[in-house]
Structures are given as C-alpha cells and as structure tokens.
Structure 1
C-alpha cells in the first residue's frame, strides 16, 4: 500500500502509452469487453454452486451528505398527497425518480465516453465528435445494453492487511492484488470482472459520510498494468477506484484515465461488497457468476446498476 505521491505527469504519460500498447481493449470500440467471449460466459455459469444471489449495489441515497450534496430525488406522484381518494375503486401508486449518475455514493457504471483526456475519449476519438448537448453519440452506456455477464473475482485488500477498511489516501498496489490472490486462493484471468474491496462502504456506514472527493482509498495507477497482463474485462470497486488525493501530480483521476480512456475498461464505482464478503468467506471461494444490467440510456455517459452475484 502507498500513501504518498509516487508519480509525476511525465511518468504517468509513459504508463499511459505502455497500456495503450499492451491492454487488450485499447484499440477496440468495445474496449476490454472483447475479452469476455461466449466461451468465458459459459465457463462463468459453471461457477454457480449454491444458487444464492447477492446484490453488489448500495441503496440509492436520497439524503444530502458531505459526499452527496445533490442526492437522488424520489417522490410519490399519485395518489395525490399520498392519500387514497375516498370511496375506494381503482387507483395506481406512482412515483418519480431523478439522480446524478456519477457521484461519490451511488453504485454506477462508467461508459467509455465518460473520461475526456487531451480532448479525446477512448480510442482517440475527438471528444467534440463523441459528445453533444443532447448526450453521447458513441461509446455510451448503450454499448452494454445486452448486459455484462461473467466471472467476477473479489479481492479483499483490508482483509489482506487485517483491517476493516483502508484509510482514505491509501493506494492499492499490484503487489497487494497478487498477495490477496495468494491469500484467498484465487487467480484473476482473461475476461474476468475484477472487484477490489477497499472497505469504503463499511467505513462510511460505521463512521458516517465524509467528503470522498478529497479523501478516499483506491488503486495505485501502476496497478493497472496487472489488469492489462491478466486481460480483465471490467474493473469495480467499493470506492470510485481512484485514490484521493491523487498519487499523480497534475492528474486528478489517473485510474479513470488509464482504465476507461486508455484500456477501454468499463468501471463499476461505489459497489457495496459487505454482503457478498461473508458469503465468500463462508463458502471459501472468491469467484462467482456476476450479472450487470445497466438501464437502457442510449446517450448516457453512465448508468445506475445493481450487479448481482450468483454463488
């Protein structure tokens, strides 16, 4: 684990170029999803042992907090005032929901158009060609409208270090990922959905919310080479995958730049892994079938998701 600046912007750009040349999804319009072949989906189905299902999403937050000043809005629109009309008969309860897709609390998927770097999006496409005031023309969340189904591998980094969570500002290294694999008896492979637990959600639930935009645990940027070597399809975490303060001077979200922009990895931010964790411990296994079904938002830069682990 690391807790201080490790990389300047020139070193970061060198890492970016290496990933562009080595990551399997760097040159593909579908990004790293190309590694999730039908054969690998069938193999993932064979991961199911007990048939138990567990949500990997957090409840949608509707209360303003230091990490969510603009929470989701939910209100009942019928019956009027929430009170059924007198006299009985047929009525329908109806409601309306609105939210910012990207933020520091709610579970969501980042589309490949989400990260702009050097005026481009994934694949080097000019951002001005990809995005309009009406939404994304390409690389939107609709790219995964058929869902993502595959083998997920959960690596518990606080468990590796005997802690309930990693403190904000801590970065998870490739050595941490390899050590967690060895401890848990699992290996991440091609087409896998890699889920990295830093304990963000548990810390929030036990200590209360804080401004996660300025302080959170995440991945060290150099750890993305581990993901490229293992040819993973999706990266998810119970934070937003990036450390704050940033370990790269001059780049605030280096993991997002490397993962989404360079490697073509869809990111799952702010998962809730506290329910599946004890199931993995009890069953003595850290891989499982995972089903991700984003809402069909054709021009969106991301989507709320409720990933389901099937063990």
Structure 2
C-alpha cells in the first residue's frame, strides 16, 4: 500500500490532487528576526519576560505536565515509525553470571548491577516539535531548504538542540471543562469560539509570548493506547490562527496525540495546522501534555518551565514541563 493511501485510511482523509484551495499555494514564512534565525516565535522569550514571570511564582505545589513512558503506550505509528521499546541490558543476577566488567563472580554477586535502554520515535510521549518537523515545498520556516540544510545526520538548522530552556507565562485553556464534558468527542475540531469561551469563563486573557496549552480531556484514557490514539479531538485552522497571529502565542500545545483534528480542512495538505504553525509562523508545538491536575485545581495561569533533550538535528525531542502557580 502506498504511503499516501495508508495515511488517508488512517486519518480518514480523502486525498486530493496536489495543490491547495485558493489562488496561490502557501509557502513557508520569513522570520522577522532575520535570514539566519532558527528560533521563530521562541525569540519572544527574553531576560525580561523570564524574570517577570518567575517573580510572580507563589511557591508550594508544582504540577508535572509530562506523561510516563511505558511499553504499549500511545504513539504515532501511521507512517511506520517505531513504538516505544524498553529492555534490560543488565540485571543483578545476569551481571554476576556473565561478568561483563570482569570483576569476578563474588564481586558481581555483592554489587548488584542494573542497566536498561530505550528506543523510540522522537514524537513519543510529552514532546516538542522543532520547526523542521513539517515544511512546504521542500522548505521549512525561514526558507531553509532540505536540499541545502538536511544531511544524513539530521538538519543543520532548527534541530531540537536549538530549542532553549523555556521559561514563560503558561495558560491552560480548558475547553472540555467549559463545555461541561470530561472529554471532547472523537474528531471534535476546537474553534476560536471555544477558546474564547473558555478564556472568558476562566477569567484569563492571553498575552504575547505565552505558552498556551489546550485541554481536550483525552489524557483520561492515556493508558488505553487504542482508544487514546483513535481519531482524537484537536485544533482547527481558525483556532490555530487565533492563537498564533491574533494572540501572539510563543508555543502552543495540547493533551492529545496529534494536536490538530482530522480529517484536514485544507485540500492538498493532510496536516495544515502543523504546517501553518511550524513552517509559516514559526510556532513550536507541544503534544501529549498532562493537564488533568491543572484542570482539577483550576490553575489557568502559571509559570511554565521546561527543558527538552538536545537531540542534534532532530525534528522533536522529549520534554519535561512543569507548571508553577502564580501569586
């Protein structure tokens, strides 16, 4: 089966001829921070913005916004990417018997040695998409081209290693709660009106440079991989534009697997929200954020602090974000 046919079947798409609706084909965005810029909207984070949000931290409870990694966990596999794998490389009894370090049986039985290894797709678990994850017409944000900037060892620009430690104002938009449901329906497409209604109900206004996290409630079935991964709710193009262009979000994210809803709203593009955010406006995406405790505690504004692994040339990296309530 061809990849496009497989993907169409997985996402429920009706594949169209190449091209987009309208008079022109969308192209990647040009960074206002110059032709060498690799950070896009992350440039909105400065010494002053970091100091401002940290000065408001209340202390006390800290919310962990990351998920656990385990064999059988949900993941994106439609394109054939590997599932999360974990295996023991050394066990106390095995190391004593095999003696891999040559220390002798007696020492091996006295000093218990445990080791393990993992293998996974970079978009597994709580992670952040780098700007090179999706592009248009062979280019990524700021017109870096695959022909010139992508080698066998990864991208030479905008790799995950370029993502700085993130310290910013975070905002939870609890769409599921404002709709009075535990979890949005499968395939539900979050609209601008949904976001505005939730913000009004929460008494919170977005600010330029925010990390905006959308709660769909999907995380409640995270342990059930098939249910979690099947046709999740997500954002539509209108909502994405509202966050990036009208509100000036620095990073956007959600608690679902693929952030946007399927099938695509745009003819000729199976992931228009991803290509819009990453390649047209330079806004990174966080996926699989754990937002249940924030929602239960009704914490809608917080200091968001996170660091991703510096995977050189990669298109995403695991992220360990935390939220600290404000005074």
Question: SS of 1:305's equivalent?
Answer: strand
Question: SS of 1:42's equivalent?
Answer: helix
> Which residue matches 1:267?
285
- Is the 2:208–2:248 contact (alpha carbons within 8 Å) kept by the matching residues of 1? yes
Cα distance in structure 2, aligned partners of 1:297 and 1:172: 32
> Which residue matches 1:111?
130
> Which residue matches 1:9?
20
Cα distance in structure 2, aligned partners of 1:42 and 1:194: 19
- Is 1:247 the counterpart of 2:265 in the alignment? yes
Quote how far apart the aligned CAs of 1:292 are: 1.2
- Is the 1:35–1:232 contact (alpha carbons within 8 Å) kept by the matching residues of 2? no
Q: What root-mean-square deviation, in Å, do the aligned CA atoms of Structure 1 and Structure 2 show?
A: 2.9
- Is the 1:234–1:267 contact (alpha carbons within 8 Å) kept by the matching residues of 2? yes
Consecutive unaligned residues of structure 1, counting only runs of 5 or more, are none
Question: SS of 2:71's equivalent?
Answer: coil
> Which residue matches 2:194?
176
Cα distance in structure 2, aligned partners of 1:50 and 1:71: 37
Matches within 5 A, 1:180-219: 180-205=198-223, 209-210=226-227, 212=229, 215-219=231-235
Question: SS of 1:138's equivalent?
Answer: coil
Question: SS of 2:227's equivalent?
Answer: coil
Task: Compute the TM-score of the two structures, normalised by the length of structure 1.
Answer: 0.84
Matches within 5 A, 1:56-205: 56-63=65-72, 70-79=82-91, 87=106, 88-103=109-124, 106-144=125-163, 146-205=164-223
Question: Aligned pair in 2 of structure 1 residues 81, 70: CA closer, same or farther (>3 Å)?
Answer: farther
Render the CA deviation track for 1:128-164: whole Å, top value 9, x for unaligned.
22222211111000111x4111111000001111011
Task: Compute the TM-score of the two structures, normalised by the length of structure 2.
Answer: 0.80
Flag as ranges the 4+ runs of structure 1 deviating above 6 A: 23-27
Question: Aligned pair in 2 of structure 1 residues 25, 174: CA closer, same or farther (>3 Å)?
Answer: farther
Q: Which structure: larger Rg?
A: 2
- Is 1:308 the counterpart of 2:322 in the alignment? yes
Quote how far apart the aligned CAs of 1:65 are: 6.2
Quote how far apart the aligned CAs of 1:57 are: 1.1
